[in-house]
Structure 1
Amino acid sequence: MAKAYRNGETRFDPTTVLVTGASSGIGAEVARFYARADRTLILWGRDAQRLEQVARDCRALGAGVRTQVLDLRDGGAAIAAFRADDDRHPVDLLVLAAGLGDMRQGTARTEHAETVLELGLVNYATPSALATAGAERMVARGGGHIVLLGSVAAFHALPFAPAYSGSKAGLMRFAEALRNGLSEYGVGVTLVSPGFVDTPMSRRVSSAKPFLQTAPAAARLIARSIEENRAHLVFPRLFSMLRLLDIVMPRPIRDVILRRLKADQAPRPAS
């Protein structure tokens, strides 16, 4: 793992970056941000055509690129794929950006049980396992950085999205615990909790999307938080205040407010 020096400051300068969810949205923009000569990018995604387009963009910027098409619902296959990729190119920056965003739709009274299971696997179980696989290798090498992409939805018990908010809440606590466990071994862990970002996932949501960020802007914020070895990046900052309000507000009042929130989204495109 190399270091670069700018204006007398030490910056994290990874040699090999592995990004999940790299075929679109934040993951794609993180890949493009880190693409440069003398750097290897390992890009994972479910959509082969879109993933190859991102790979072409990154190669045009000088990066060496490997791609992997896989489904994170199969956590065992994902762990094996990570270890195989890391054997070939030791990963010093692991960005776990893949995720699913679904909620109760229309007039439905509950989510589908299968959807709850799927979000639990893709948003929590598999990224947590991959982060652990990455930590095993990075601890042995004496350094590295792991990024887990959460959501501000983790801060609130959203009645229309219990699977999404619950899976992201689990990921938030896992990231906190993992960072505490790795702090003495030179391995950084950053949890990223964005609000609305202009991605294919958020475009399915039909309700208001206040303070909408662009995906390239989100990628720049994430890169800065990695350089600063931040434990938790929340953006826009307003959501940090809303999180505190949720904590201090009496539960009966908070529950009344949450139950009045409404949201809906278009069905997920077939993959």
Structure 2
Amino acid sequence: MYSSRNQERIIVTGASGALGGALARLLARPGVELSLWGRDAARLDVVAGQVRAAGAEASTRRLDLTDGPGAVDAVLADDAAAPFAQSYLVAGLGDVRAPGDVVEDPALVLRLAQVNFAAPAAMAAALAGRMAARGHGRIILIGSAAGHHALPFAAAYSGSKAGLARFADALRIAVKPHGVTVTLAAPGFLDAPGGRGTPGGQRLLLSSEEAARRIVRAARAGKAHYVTPWPFAALHLVDALLPRALRDRVLAALPLPDAEGG
């Protein structure tokens, strides 16, 4: 059941994860209703309780984004029941190739493509169409600084995030004349198992709470593409400027992250 009061409705996917949960807590305030989606029902309930304690309303939906058509149908049904003003589409399933393997397992490649790119992109397209018809709305897609680099030990992860970045940019151009803003936020290493296991990650770790604050600030400012922390923006520029042969040698020399980093 949705509140009959005039609430600002915000959907946050990945809300059972560290960054999604941090975003939900940051956005929670009186006058806001948060629709929290995630894979882990117990964690969703915890975040929903924290959101309600901050004075917001909360509903939860357990859904795995490997079910892309189900996710699109669900978000359209929820939006039809009570329109979303904002959407934070957080999907960050990360993994690396197994030690000793030359390439990643095909099933892993497919799963990461579905969760990190196909499902959030399709949900964003569905919401963008509804928001454009209403003449307003804000969509925030959570990418990754890894999407700027061809990581040989995480081709599926970096590739899926690169695809999401290009999609977000194209969607932004398409819906801007209709009053809808699209922001692609690309955080670097977060203080979570995935970030801690990445080469060099310890020196550039961001807490989920700090990453959430920066992402919300960038979205409210209407930024098209936001990379944080700043060294990752510099690395993106260096990657683009290096001669291909030199860039390939640098990337090929990166060590495989610890197994827990997935």
TM-score interval (norm. to shorter) = over 0.9
Equivalences for residues 1-271 of structure 1 within 5 A: 15-203=8-196, 205=197, 207-209=199-201, 210-266=203-259
Q: Which runs of 5+ in 2 are unaligned?
A: 1-6
Q: Report how far residue 267 of structure 1 moved.
A: 5.6
After superposition, the C-alpha distances for 1:186-239 in whole angstroms (9 at most, x for unaligned) are 100000111101134434x26431310000101110111111000011011111
Look up the equivalent residue of 1:247 and give its one-letter code: A
Structure-1 separation of matches of 2:258 and 2:136: 41
Q: Report how far residue 38 of structure 1 moved.
A: 1.4
Contact 1:159 1:259 (C-alpha < 8 Å) held by counterparts: yes
Partner of residue 6, structure 1 = none
TM-score by length of 1: 0.91
Q: Report how far residue 169 of structure 1 moved.
A: 0.5
Structure-1 separation of matches of 2:142 and 2:79: 21
Structure-2 separation of matches of 1:73 and 1:188: 26
After superposition, the C-alpha distances for 1:135-165 in whole angstroms (9 at most, x for unaligned) are 0110111101001111111111111011001
Look up the equivalent residue of 1:246 and give its one-letter code: D
Look up the equivalent residue of 2:258 and give its one-letter code: Q
Contact 1:192 1:222 (C-alpha < 8 Å) held by counterparts: yes
Structure-2 separation of matches of 1:94 and 1:26: 14
Higher normalized helix content (fraction of residues): 2
Q: Report how far residue 266 of structure 1 moved.
A: 2.7
Contact 2:28 2:34 (C-alpha < 8 Å) held by counterparts: yes
Contact 2:194 2:260 (C-alpha < 8 Å) held by counterparts: no
Structure-2 separation of matches of 1:254 and 1:137: 42
Structure-1 separation of matches of 2:97 and 2:188: 19
Percent identity reads 47
Structure-1 separation of matches of 2:124 and 2:215: 17
Q: Report how far residue 87 of structure 1 moved.
A: 1.6
Contact 1:148 1:175 (C-alpha < 8 Å) held by counterparts: yes
Q: Secondary structure at the match of 2:140?
A: strand
Q: Secondary structure at the match of 2:184?
A: strand
Contact 1:105 1:265 (C-alpha < 8 Å) held by counterparts: no
Structure-1 separation of matches of 2:194 and 2:45: 19
Structure-2 separation of matches of 1:253 and 1:99: 29
Q: Report how far residue 263 of structure 1 moved.
A: 2.4
Q: Secondary structure at the match of 1:213?
A: coil
Contact 1:128 1:174 (C-alpha < 8 Å) held by counterparts: yes
How many residue pairs get aligned? The number is 255
Contact 2:193 2:260 (C-alpha < 8 Å) held by counterparts: no
Contact 1:19 1:44 (C-alpha < 8 Å) held by counterparts: yes
After superposition, the C-alpha distances for 1:48-100 in whole angstroms (9 at most, x for unaligned) are 00110000000111111010000100100000110111122210111011220
Root mean square deviation, CA, Å: 1.5
TM-score by length of 2: 0.94
